[in-house]
Homo-oligomer: A and B are copies of this chain.
Amino acid sequence: MNKKIAVGVLGCTGVVGQKLIALLDGHPSFVVTDLVASENSSGMTYGERACWREVTDLSPNIRDLVIKRSYDELEAKILFSGLDASVAGDVEVWYAKKGHAVVSNSRNHRLDADVPLIIPEINPEHFALIKLQQQKYNSPGFIVTNPNCSITIAALALFPIHQSFGIDKIIVTTMQAVSGAGYPGVPSLDIFDNVIPHIKDEEEKMHSELLKIFGVYRGGQIAPADCKVSAMCNRVPVRHGHTMAISFSTKKAATANAIISLFSGVKSPQSLQSLQQHGLHLPSSPQTILQYFADPFRPQPLLDRDAGNGMTVSIGNLRPCQVLDWKMTVVGHNLVRGAAGAAILNAEYLLANGLVY
């Protein structure tokens, strides 16, 4: 077996940082060697500091790692970033210039012209932007990002339809889990027995990020997709798992059967066009990337968020829309498929394609 690649986690004490560590613990290709958090955590071991909230136990070798500070020199080749947006911008660039592959879940650089915004099953050709950064920084380092949790889940459900029929309009109402707001995040007094009908900047992110993800790479640039996305984002009293009610219209006429058969076919990453070209299987790819339910009461976040270890996106209730063409329900795990798992999948892709070594 090959030697594992050393990786670090920036922002290791937050909700995404903890989920990254939980998923990296025992990973077949990566071993966690560096943990970075804010000033007031540094110098402590992760076990002393972390206030671990994952249900699985923390392994001893991670528990004993001493937490470093941002801008400390790090050994690890790949740095996963779950940093808060208030600091991620500069820290990620600093480490990229130092030669690290920064695989970030933070929003700061997602829309930078030379930073790939990747869902590997959809747009791996966007990784080509990495070279622009390497030239700019004169360094082997770079930043790659994964999208916002909500749009990642929506994009995976919509992409096969977009490939086959072309999607031109999307109206999506999200019902988002509290874990998406981090920790301490949403006070219980605010969300018990309640819906909060606004999440700062979320609707804008869903719009602009989808256009980039579905965009076309050509000559060092991403031409954004030509579709309209309107999002209405809500927080609901659910722990994990974002639920989305999506209406959409297609450029070419489709049938319900044709759409559903697209979902059913997505049993492996190879069956999505782009990964197919690369013939890859990545360790965090679930056996079933998309699953469709005939039962109109599914998918539900409680029952379906953990499908495929949290990496499967679940779809149901496809039916005609009286205003656009179709409507459906989509559920995915916001912390796994929508954040930590998304970043790890990106890193696995980099490794499998020799973009880090």
Minimum Cβ distance to chain B for residue A349 (Å): 28
Q: Is A197 an interface residue (CB 8 A)?
A: yes
Given the interface pairs A188-B191, A237-B188, A237-B237, the reply to whether A173 lies near B232 with Cβ below 8 Å is yes
Stretch at the interface among A92-100, A158-166, A316-324: A316-324
A324's contact among B15, B191, B197, B323, by CB below 8 Å, is which?
B323
Q: Is A62 an interface residue (CB 8 A)?
A: no
Q: Is A183 an interface residue (CB 8 A)?
A: yes
Question: Are the CB atoms of B232 and A322 closer together than 8 Å?
Answer: no
A245's contact among B188, B232, B239, by CB below 8 Å, is which?
B232
Within 8 A of B (CB), among A14-31: 15
What residue in chain B is nearest A170 (Cβ atoms)? B323
Q: Is A110 an interface residue (CB 8 A)?
A: no
Question: How many interface residues does chain A have, given as a range?
Answer: 35 or more
Question: Are the CB atoms of B195 and A243 closer together than 8 Å?
Answer: yes
What residue in chain B is nearest A203 (Cβ atoms)? B319
Question: Are the CB atoms of B178 and A192 closer together than 8 Å?
Answer: yes
Question: Are the CB atoms of A321 and B171 closer together than 8 Å?
Answer: yes
A322's contact among B207, B322, B327, by CB below 8 Å, is which?
B207
**CB-CB contacts of A193-235 with B at 8 A, as 1s and 0s?**
1111110000000010000000000000000000011101010
Q: Is A175 an interface residue (CB 8 A)?
A: yes
Q: Is A279 an interface residue (CB 8 A)?
A: no
On chain B, the residues within 8 Å of A169 by CB distance are 323
Question: Are the CB atoms of A189 and B195 closer together than 8 Å?
Answer: no
Question: Are the CB atoms of A189 and B53 closer together than 8 Å?
Answer: yes
A300's contact among B195, B230, B297, B331, by CB below 8 Å, is which?
B195
**CB-CB contacts of A267-282 with B at 8 A, as 1s and 0s?**
0000000000000000
Given the interface pairs A185-B188, A192-B178, the reply to whether A322 lies near B236 with Cβ below 8 Å is no
Residues in chain A within 8 A of chain B (CB atoms): 15, 53, 55, 169-171, 173, 175, 178-179, 183-198, 207, 228-230, 232, 234, 236-239, 243, 245, 247, 296-303, 306, 316-317, 321-324, 327, 329, 331
Can you give 22 A-B contacts (C-beta < 8 A)?
A53-B303, A175-B234, A175-B236, A179-B189, A185-B188, A186-B187, A188-B190, A192-B237, A193-B193, A193-B301, A194-B238, A194-B301, A194-B302, A194-B303, A195-B243, A196-B297, A197-B298, A197-B329, A230-B322, A232-B327, A236-B237, A237-B237
The 3 nearest A-B residue pairs measured at CB = A173-B173, A184-B187, A194-B302
Q: A55-B306, A184-B184, A186-B187 are in contact. List 12 more A-B contacts (CB 8 A).
A: A178-B189, A178-B192, A185-B188, A188-B188, A192-B237, A192-B302, A193-B301, A194-B300, A197-B245, A197-B296, A197-B300, A230-B327
